[in-house]
Amino acid sequence: MSYDINNVFAKILRGEIPCQKIYEDDFAFAFPDIHPQAPLHILIIPKGPYCNYHDFVTHAADDAITGFQKAIANIIHLTKAEEGGYRLISNSGINAHQEVPHYHVHLLGGRHLGPLLVK
């Protein structure tokens, strides 16, 4: 999978598509999912052209990887997600239903989330 510079998340990072910013720092940008699957459903994206997790950890600088992980922790704290529990999901590729070819993490919470996979 090659990185598409015109994917929706790249456009959000460039400010070409408006969104409700929940969090931003040098390494990450977070905003609500437009089709939430739980009361808390936030998308967290790194500020760089990475297709998926493997691409990110293979090509990002160590400070970008660490900064992104700390940003996720900051967002969990900011939203108080740890109080009731939360789930972090990152889909990669067609079989996992990755819809946008930019690495991102879904933060879900606010209710009982049920089983991880539906059989």
Would you give per-residue pLDDT tens digits along the chain (119 residues)?
A: 689 999 999 999 999 999 999 999 999 999 999 999 999 999 999 999 999 999 999 999 999 999 999 999 999 999 999 999 999 999 998 888 899 999 999 999 999 998 887 66
The domain tally of the chain equals 1
pTM (whole model) above 0.85: yes
Q: Give domain status of residue 95, yes or no.
A: yes
- Residues annotated as catalytic are 104
How does 7-46 read in b/e, with b if 16+ C-beta sit within 10 Å? Answer: bbbbebbeeeeebeebbeeebbbbbeeeeeebebbbbbbb
Q: Give domain status of residue 115, yes or no.
A: no
- 60 lies in which domain range? 8-109
Q: Give domain status of residue 114, yes or no.
A: no
Question: Any idea what the CATH number is for the domain that residue 77 is in?
Answer: 3.30.428.10
